[in-house]
Structure 1
Amino acid sequence: MSEVEILDIARDPVWVIECPAPVPAGFPSPSDEHRGEKVDLNRILLPHPDCTYLARVAGDSMAGPPGHIADGALLTVDCTLKPQPGHVVVAAVDGEFTVKRLEKRGLGWWLVPDNPRYPAVDAASYGRFEVWGVVTHVVTELINGKLHDRVRARRLQ
């Protein structure tokens, strides 16, 4: 089962330069005159900052298609969105957090991993089940250590 660790979010703007055109694989970076406008990553990743949180994935139950959410990935989780079938959600099940795809089967809700090595579970089989939010973005680090070193975790009580 993939678990999640809830993280603090810096609320100050995080600015990057947007490339105005798609970048073909293998094409060199655009020159300065071809750079686009500055983009605030907080506005993209955190459209509802008071109701969005970051979570780090621990485990590989979501590592298969279609999500390919790797162990250690950061998730942005929006609590304002109504969970729909097919959404990836962070749920509290019997007091523990997990990240799974939400599916409607018959009259019941199921938590389904993207990794086929793990079984789907009927949410009704848990004593307590609550969706905490819908995953809207996944940030995966390609060079180990940089992201993990700069994001400090805190425990939710």
Structure 2
Amino acid sequence: MTITFLGKPTGGAAKLPCYSFRVPAGFPSPATDHLEGDISLDDLFELRAPHIYLVKIEGDSMQGSGIFSGDLVIVDRSREAEHGDVVIAALNNEPVCKRLHKRNGVVILKSENPSYPARYVLEGDELLIWGVIRFSVRDHAQ
């Protein structure tokens, strides 16, 4: 797996229309009478917050959690990583995206693809949690 750090988002905060109905996976036509208002993706994802950064994921080890190769993930450095969180971390200076398991003093970094084994963090290993993934964005035109 390869992780590309894209850093802090820049640019303006465009407002997009937000409709009040749920969209089925068919072919509905959004009507203006269902327009709830405008929403800013910057506000929704807290993109301007100093503790948020972006990372591009390469590899298929997290596809079981809905994170696929080429996805952009929004990472929060301010959240304390807890058992079950998907994190961006450095294990012995190697950046990884894995699900964190912490139980009874044992730390495991788990892939969400059965083709990849879990990685137990051993006594001599250095583990630095760089942040908790809050959201992912996928380009469906690929």
Q: Quick check: TM above 0.5?
A: yes
The runs of 4+ residues in structure 1 deviating greater than 3 Å are none
**Following TM superposition, by how much is the alpha carbon of 1:71 offset from its aligned partner in structure 2, in angstroms?**
0.3
CA pair 48-124 structure 1, distance change in 2 beyond 3 A? farther
**Following TM superposition, by how much is the alpha carbon of 1:22 offset from its aligned partner in structure 2, in angstroms?**
0.7
**Following TM superposition, by how much is the alpha carbon of 1:48 offset from its aligned partner in structure 2, in angstroms?**
6.4
Gaps of 5+ in 2: none
Counterparts of 1:15-54 in structure 2, within 5 Å, are: 15-46=15-46, 49-54=49-54
Q: C-alpha root-mean-square deviation of aligned residues, in Å?
A: 1.7
Is the 1:48–1:80 contact (alpha carbons within 8 Å) kept by the matching residues of 2?
no
Is the 2:21–2:34 contact (alpha carbons within 8 Å) kept by the matching residues of 1?
no
Counterparts of 1:46-65 in structure 2, within 5 Å, are: 46=46, 49-64=49-64
Is the 1:11–1:42 contact (alpha carbons within 8 Å) kept by the matching residues of 2?
no
**Following TM superposition, by how much is the alpha carbon of 1:27 offset from its aligned partner in structure 2, in angstroms?**
3.9
Give the TM-score normalised by the residue count of structure 2.
0.90
| Secondary structure in structure 1 of the residue aligned to 2:19 | coil
| Secondary structure in structure 2 of the residue aligned to 1:18 | strand
Identity among equivalent positions (%) equals 31
CA pair 140-125 structure 1, distance change in 2 beyond 3 A? farther
Q: Which amino acid aligns with 1:26?
A: G
CA pair 11-83 structure 1, distance change in 2 beyond 3 A? farther
Give the distance between the partners of 2:141 and 2:117, measured in 1 at CA: 31
More strand by share: 2
User: Which residue pairs with 1:3 in the alignment?
Assistant: 2
